[in-house]
Amino acid sequence: MRACIRPLRRPSSEGPFRAQSPLRVQANLTQETVAHRAEMDRATYNRIEQGHSAALIDTLIRTADVIGVPLSDLVRE
Protein backbone atom coordinates (compact mmCIF):
# COMPACT_ATOMS: atom_id res chain seq x y z
CA MET A 1 0.00 0.00 0.00
CA ARG A 2 1.27 3.47 -0.87
CA ALA A 3 1.45 6.07 1.88
CA CYS A 4 -0.63 9.16 1.35
CA ILE A 5 1.32 12.40 1.58
CA ARG A 6 -0.49 15.70 1.82
CA PRO A 7 0.34 18.29 -0.83
CA LEU A 8 3.11 20.69 0.15
CA ARG A 9 2.14 24.33 0.19
CA ARG A 10 3.99 27.44 1.22
CA PRO A 11 2.13 29.74 3.56
CA SER A 12 2.60 32.68 1.19
CA SER A 13 0.78 33.29 -2.06
CA GLU A 14 3.80 32.09 -4.03
CA GLY A 15 3.83 28.66 -5.61
CA PRO A 16 5.28 25.58 -3.98
CA PHE A 17 8.42 25.88 -6.06
CA ARG A 18 8.34 29.40 -7.43
CA ALA A 19 12.15 29.33 -7.73
CA GLN A 20 11.80 26.51 -10.22
CA SER A 21 11.12 28.56 -13.29
CA PRO A 22 14.63 30.11 -13.37
CA LEU A 23 16.12 26.67 -12.63
CA ARG A 24 14.09 25.15 -15.47
CA VAL A 25 15.16 27.92 -17.83
CA GLN A 26 18.82 27.60 -16.75
CA ALA A 27 18.57 23.90 -17.57
CA ASN A 28 17.27 24.94 -21.02
CA LEU A 29 14.07 22.94 -20.55
CA THR A 30 10.54 23.82 -21.57
CA GLN A 31 7.53 23.19 -19.36
CA GLU A 32 6.44 20.53 -21.84
CA THR A 33 9.77 18.71 -21.61
CA VAL A 34 9.84 18.76 -17.82
CA ALA A 35 6.22 17.65 -17.60
CA HIS A 36 6.76 14.77 -20.03
CA ARG A 37 9.92 13.53 -18.31
CA ALA A 38 8.29 13.87 -14.87
CA GLU A 39 5.29 11.91 -16.14
CA MET A 40 2.63 14.58 -15.77
CA ASP A 41 0.43 16.71 -17.96
CA ARG A 42 1.93 20.04 -19.09
CA ALA A 43 -1.10 21.97 -17.82
CA THR A 44 -0.68 20.35 -14.40
CA TYR A 45 3.00 21.24 -14.36
CA ASN A 46 2.17 24.82 -15.32
CA ARG A 47 -0.38 25.14 -12.49
CA ILE A 48 2.19 23.86 -9.99
CA GLU A 49 4.95 26.12 -11.26
CA GLN A 50 2.66 29.14 -11.18
CA GLY A 51 1.47 28.33 -7.67
CA HIS A 52 -2.14 27.56 -8.56
CA SER A 53 -1.82 23.91 -7.46
CA ALA A 54 0.18 22.09 -4.82
CA ALA A 55 2.57 19.27 -5.63
CA LEU A 56 2.98 15.94 -3.90
CA ILE A 57 6.46 15.13 -2.66
CA ASP A 58 6.95 12.43 -5.32
CA THR A 59 6.12 15.00 -8.00
CA LEU A 60 8.67 17.41 -6.52
CA ILE A 61 11.32 14.68 -6.43
CA ARG A 62 10.69 13.68 -10.07
CA THR A 63 10.74 17.33 -11.14
CA ALA A 64 14.03 18.01 -9.34
CA ASP A 65 15.54 14.92 -10.99
CA VAL A 66 14.39 16.07 -14.44
CA ILE A 67 15.78 19.58 -13.96
CA GLY A 68 18.97 18.17 -12.48
CA VAL A 69 18.94 19.98 -9.14
CA PRO A 70 18.69 18.80 -5.55
CA LEU A 71 15.17 18.83 -4.13
CA SER A 72 16.28 21.43 -1.57
CA ASP A 73 17.17 23.85 -4.39
CA LEU A 74 13.80 23.30 -6.02
CA VAL A 75 11.77 24.22 -2.94
CA ARG A 76 14.14 26.76 -1.39
CA GLU A 77 12.49 30.03 -0.36
- Residue 1 is predicted with a pLDDT of 40
Band (74; pLDDT cuts 50, 70, 90): confident
Residues 6, 60 contacting (CB under 8 angstroms): no
Whether 15 maps to a domain, the answer reads: no
DSSP string, the chain: -PPP-PPB--SSSS-TTTTHHHHHHHTT--HHHHHHHTTS-HHHHHHHHHTSS-B-HHHHHHHHHHHTS-HHHHH--
pLDDT per position as a tens digit, 2-39: 433 334 444 444 555 554 578 899 999 999 999 999 99
The CATH number linked to 38 is 1.10.260.40
Whether 63 maps to a domain, the answer reads: yes
Q: What is the pTM of this model?
A: 0.72
If one counts the domains in the chain, the total is: 1
Whether 42 maps to a domain, the answer reads: yes
Whether 13 maps to a domain, the answer reads: no
Residues 62, 38 contacting (CB under 8 angstroms): yes
Whether 46 maps to a domain, the answer reads: yes
User: Is pLDDT larger for residue 11 or for residue 48?
Assistant: 48
Whether 3 maps to a domain, the answer reads: no
User: Is pLDDT larger for residue 40 or for residue 19?
Assistant: 40
